[in-house]
């Protein structure tokens, strides 16, 4: 058998790669298992995990790699979701319209928020992104035509001209999964590009990056917009998944959830947000079966991770990584 | 006043709306004072320990629950309030010793993760102890009256008491921070904590005291507000965000900034809620203006904050020495 220095010595298959690959294979097999075991709820749960992993991944692009801690990321979920919901209610059911509008609206919002917020630093940046998200939250509450506080049920999912039927839960799952994989690949490409080097450089020492001659504000703004657009897509998926949109999906505690997922998984790891979303949501679900008071355990667990684990689950499993 | 030149019906209507305006201004001041109690603790903890504390709203909630419980046990509102204040401060200090102090000097994201966990924990703990239904705290009967503060203007006595008591607390806090030795250490700790520690001050104890003070202020806000609102789980979450807005507008670490920003936010929010729907009604139909007005007035404090930060990225009164 492969002794010490076997396959792991090849430096291609590190333990991290092995675990990530196992997670991906596991996720790819979920619909098969759910079909065999006759457990449609599992498929629903993991679909949710994958969609929120996409949102957490987009947050991690700016937060983990760019050092921009956005405390209003759930706003993009809402904007993407409301784009689908509002268009559906107005009789435009085509996903070819709904999804691009969701992405474009989120990108536009990110452009405005980013342009205004990136002038501030540190805690002020956290707070101003929170403030903008609160504004969008209250805009949604004021949309009486689209349910106001109570939200809006979406009667038919996005139509793709017979190409993909989103009513097929398994198909929808694989679509979300494929989009997540594409997004992880995109983030990986971005982070390792020249553009990504500038973003990471600006995180560790912005003044120096500017002194070298990089207009860091513009780079960060573009990064902020990419992340917003990506999360808007997650919002469109989420609206199709739950067939329901409401202001609650933009409540500030939802933004907190996304931060928790990204930090829990490990912010400097490409698969961190996925692992974080998986662990957080499964823990939440699992604990609610065991006890009537799940947060009594979940809360202190998050606190312990914050206190004792630097670098989230990724660091816990594979040791801290450089950079 | 402004209505002096008018006669008859016009004068009556004018006086009526003036009185209404004054009443709303008082409501705004009352909300502002309440926000100040929360924001003062937050800004101290922000400024001195550099800690983002999302669990601050939980201490507000706990203060309200304690007050409701102790008031029922003792049969006295004032006794209940005093016990609740002490108990909330004790919970805060215990929290600091057990958990919070391990987060100092860490990344803000670790603070968000850890204190978000605490927020979940406290919500669940309250549900376990007091059950999912809310509590009510009734006022002593003499507090229920309205007093005449201007000819034709009656105002609830209890709301006046809130304004008065919080002003007194604000003054006491000012004296504590600016005129006492403890306050001097607090201010010194805010500008250079290593130096204060090097000079032989027990910085750990100082931090615990500051956190306890912040908790007591939050609990005080909660128990003062308890008779007006229902005491319920999650009551601290929305007001926490408003308090963050105050802290940010005022400049992190600045108590004076927090005081002015709290009044500003309280007034903008209250006056906005009262007059924006009416103002919109001039242009729009009844239903459209009421729903849009509701949304717009809820957004106003965030717009003020965004505007302030765009013009002054470090708030109105940035704390010096950082």
Cβ–Cβ contact B144 with A under 8 A? no
Mean of the per-residue pLDDT values of chain B: 88
Note whether A293 contacts B52, CB cutoff 8 Å: no
* A140, A302, A313, A316, best to mutate vs chain B, most B CBs in 10 Å: A302
Q: Which residues contact A188 (CB under 8 A, 6 or more apart)?
A: A270
> Is the model's pLDDT at B126 over the cut of 90?
yes
- Taking contacts as CB-CB distances below 8 angstroms, the residues of chain A near B128 are 293, 296
Burial readout A269-285 (b: 16 or more C-beta within 10 A, e: otherwise): bbbbbbbbbbbbbebee
Query: Nearest Cα to A162, choosing from A233, A243, A96?
Result: A96
Q: Which of A105-109, B151-155, B297-301 has the highest mean pLDDT?
A: A105-109
Note whether B116 contacts A259, CB cutoff 8 Å: yes
Own/partner long-range contacts of A151-154 (Cβ < 8 Å, ≥24 apart): A151/A244, A151/A245, A151/A246, A151/A247, A151/A248, A152/A85, A152/A89, A152/A244, A152/A245, A152/A246, A153/A243, A153/A244, A154/A84, A154/A85, A154/A88, A154/A89, A154/A239, A154/A240, A154/A243, A154/A244, A154/A245
Identity of the residue in A126, A131, A138 whose CB atom sits nearest the CB atom of B295: A138
Beta strands in chain B (DSSP E): 146-150, 153-156
DSSP annotation of A152: E
Work out the number of other CB atoms within 10 angstroms of the CB of residue A254.
Answer: 20
* B58, B106, B124, B254, best to mutate vs chain A, most A CBs in 10 Å: B124
Residue of B nearest to A64 (CA): B109
> For residues B120 and A234, what is the distance between their CA atoms, to the nearest angstrom?
25
Note whether B99 contacts A256, CB cutoff 8 Å: no
- Note which residues in 34-73 of chain A have CB less than 8 A from chain B: 63, 69, 71
Work out the number of other CB atoms within 10 angstroms of the CB of residue A96.
Answer: 13
B135 strand-pairing partners = B231
Tens-place pLDDT, residues A271-284: 999 999 999 999 99
A153 strand-pairing partners = A244
Note whether A306 contacts B103, CB cutoff 8 Å: yes
What is the CA angle B179-B181-B185, rounded to 5? 110
Query: Nearest Cα to A62, choosing from A312, A230, A176, A313?
Result: A230
Cβ–Cβ contact A104 with B under 8 A? no
What's the whole-model pTM score?
0.90
pLDDT at B273: 86
> For residues B187 and B322, what is the distance between their CA atoms, to the nearest angstrom?
11
Work out the number of other CB atoms within 10 angstroms of the CB of residue A83.
Answer: 25
- Taking contacts as CB-CB distances below 8 angstroms, the residues of chain B near A260 are 112-113, 116-117
A244 strand-pairing partners = A153
Tens-place pLDDT, residues B103-125: 988 888 899 999 999 999 999 99
> For residues A154 and A1, what is the distance between their CA atoms, to the nearest angstrom?
55
Tens-place pLDDT, residues B241-250: 999 999 999 9
pLDDT at A119: 87
Note whether A138 contacts B121, CB cutoff 8 Å: no
pLDDT at A323: 43
Tens-place pLDDT, residues A201-258: 999 888 999 999 999 999 999 999 999 999 999 999 999 999 999 999 999 999 999 9
- Taking contacts as CB-CB distances below 8 angstroms, the residues of chain B near A309 are none
Q: Find out whether B70 and B79 touch, Cβ atoms under 8 Å.
A: yes
Q: In a 3-state reduction of DSSP, which class is residue A262?
A: helix
For the segment B179-204, the average pLDDT, to the nearest whole number, is 84
Phi, psi at residue A39, to the nearest 5°? -125, 80
Cβ–Cβ contact B298 with A under 8 A? yes
Residue of A nearest to B110 (CA): A306
Cβ–Cβ contact A290 with B under 8 A? no
Identity of the residue in B46, B114, B302 whose CB atom sits nearest the CB atom of A302: B114
> Is the model's pLDDT at A4 over the cut of 60?
no
Q: In a 3-state reduction of DSSP, which class is residue B113?
A: helix
Work out the number of other CB atoms within 10 angstroms of the CB of residue A43.
Answer: 18
Note whether B114 contacts A134, CB cutoff 8 Å: no
Going from the C-alpha of B62 to that of each of B100, B124, B125, B178, the distances in angstroms are: 17, 12, 10, 29
Q: Going from the N-terminus, what domains does chain A have, and what CATH number goes with each? A: 7-318 (1.10.3470)
> For residues A217 and B191, what is the distance between their CA atoms, to the nearest angstrom?
29
Supply the Cα-derived Rg of chain A in whole angstroms. Answer: 20
Identity of the residue in B125, B237, B291 whose CB atom sits nearest the CB atom of A142: B291
Distance (Å) from the C-alpha of residue B113 to the closest C-alpha of chain A? Answer: 6
DSSP annotation of B135: B
For the segment B151-167, the average pLDDT, to the nearest whole number, is 89
- Note which residues in 180-209 of chain A have CB less than 8 A from chain B: none
- What stretch of H or E contains A255? helix A252-265
Burial readout B75-110 (b: 16 or more C-beta within 10 A, e: otherwise): eebeebbebbbebbbebbbebbeebbbbbbebbbbb
Distance (Å) from the C-alpha of residue A209 to the closest C-alpha of chain B? Answer: 21
Note whether A132 contacts B302, CB cutoff 8 Å: yes
DSSP annotation of B2: T
Cβ–Cβ contact A21 with B under 8 A? no
Q: Pick the more confident residue, B4 or B259.
A: B259
For the segment B233-260, the average pLDDT, to the nearest whole number, is 90
3-class SS shares of chain A: helix, strand, coil, % to 5: 75, 0, 20
Tens-place pLDDT, residues A92-130: 989 999 999 999 999 999 999 999 999 888 888 999 999
Tens-place pLDDT, residues B21-50: 888 899 999 999 999 999 999 998 988 888
Note whether A295 contacts B120, CB cutoff 8 Å: yes
Phi, psi at residue B43, to the nearest 5°? -70, -35
Cβ–Cβ contact B116 with A under 8 A? yes
DSSP annotation of B24: H
> For residues A202 and A205, what is the distance between their CA atoms, to the nearest angstrom?
5
Mean of the per-residue pLDDT values of chain A: 90
Could you state, in order of their start, the residue ranges of all structural domains in chain B?
A: 43-136+159-233, 234-322
ipTM for the predicted complex comes to: 0.88
Q: In a 3-state reduction of DSSP, which class is residue B153?
A: strand
Going from the C-alpha of B75 to that of each of A247, A249, B134, B145, B224, the distances in angstroms are: 41, 42, 19, 20, 17
């Amino acid at each position: 058998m492969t002794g010490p220095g076997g396959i792991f010595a090849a430096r291609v298959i590190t333990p991290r790669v092995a675990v990530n690959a196992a997670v991906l294979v596991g996720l790819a097999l979920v619909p098969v298992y759910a079909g065999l075991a006759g457990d449609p709820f599992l498929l629903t749960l993991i679909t949710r995990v994958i969609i929120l992993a996409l949102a957490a991944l987009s947050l991690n692009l700016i937060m983990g790699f760019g050092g921009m801690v956005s405390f209003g990321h759930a706003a993009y979920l809402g904007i993407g979701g409301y784009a689908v919901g509002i268009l559906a209610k107005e009789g435009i059911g085509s996903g070819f319209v709904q999804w691009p509008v969701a992405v474009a609206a989120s990108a536009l919002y990110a452009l405005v928020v980013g342009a205004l917020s990136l002038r501030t630093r540190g805690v002020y940046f956290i707070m101003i992104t929170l403030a903008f998200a609160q504004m969008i939250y209250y805009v949604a509450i004021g949309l009486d035509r689209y349910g106001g506080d109570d939200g809006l049920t979406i009667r038919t999912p996005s139509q793709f001209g017979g190409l993909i039927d989103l009513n097929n839960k398994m198909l929808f799952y694989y679509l979300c999964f494929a989009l997540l994989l594409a997004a992880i690949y995109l983030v990986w490409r971005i982070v390792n590009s020249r553009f990504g080097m500038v973003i990471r450089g600006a995180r560790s020492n912005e003044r120096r990056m500017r002194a070298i001659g990089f207009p860091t504000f513009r780079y960060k703004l573009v990064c902020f917009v990419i992340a917003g657009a990506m999360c808007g897509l997650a919002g469109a998926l989420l609206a199709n998944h739950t067939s329901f949109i409401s202001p609650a999906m933009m409540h500030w505690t939802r933004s907190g959830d996304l931060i928790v997922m990204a930090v829990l998984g490990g912010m400097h790891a490409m698969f961190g947000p996925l692992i974080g979303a998986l662990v957080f949501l499964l823990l939440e679900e699992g604990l609610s079966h065991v006890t009537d008071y799940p947060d009594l355990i979940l809360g202190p667990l998050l606190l312990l991770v914050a206190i004792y684990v630097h670098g989230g689950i990724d660091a816990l499993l594979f040791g801290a990584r450089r950079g | 006043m402004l209505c002096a030149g008018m006669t008859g019906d016009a004068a009556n209507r004018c006086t009526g709306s003036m009185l209404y305006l004054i009443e709303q201004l008082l409501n705004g001041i009352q909300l502002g004072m309440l926000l100040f109690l929360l924001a003062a603790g937050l800004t101290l903890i922000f400024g001195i320990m550099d800690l983002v504390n999302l669990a601050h709203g939980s201490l507000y909630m706990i203060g309200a629950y304690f007050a409701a419980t102790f008031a029922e046990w003792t049969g006295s509102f004032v006794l209940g309030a005093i016990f609740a204040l002490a108990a909330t401060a004790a919970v805060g200090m215990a929290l600091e010793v057990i958990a919070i102090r391990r987060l100092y000097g860490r990344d803000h994201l670790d603070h968000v993760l850890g204190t978000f966990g605490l927020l979940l924990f406290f919500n669940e703990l309250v549900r376990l102890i007091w059950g999912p239904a809310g509590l009510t705290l009734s006022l002593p009967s003499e507090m229920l009256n309205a007093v005449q503060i201007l000819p034709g203007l009656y105002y609830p006595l209890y709301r006046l008491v809130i304004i008065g008591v919080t002003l007194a607390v604000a003054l006491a806090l000012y004296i504590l921070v600016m005129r006492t030795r403890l306050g001097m250490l607090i201010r010194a700790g805010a500008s250079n904590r290593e130096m204060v520690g090097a000079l032989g001050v027990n910085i750990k104890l100082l931090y615990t005291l500051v956190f306890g003070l912040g908790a007591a202020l939050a609990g005080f806000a909660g128990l003062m507000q308890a008779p007006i609102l229902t005491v319920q789980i999650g009551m601290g979450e929305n007001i926490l965000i408003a308090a963050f807005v105050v802290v940010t507008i005022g400049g992190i670490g600045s108590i004076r900034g927090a005081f002015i920003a709290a009044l500003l936010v309280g007034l903008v929010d209250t006056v906005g809620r009262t007059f924006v729907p009416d103002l919109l009604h001039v242009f729009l139909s009844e239903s459209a203006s009421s729903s849009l007005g509701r949304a717009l007035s809820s957004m106003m404090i965030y717009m003020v904050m965004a505007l302030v930060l765009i013009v002054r990225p470090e708030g109105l009164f940035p704390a010096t020495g950082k």
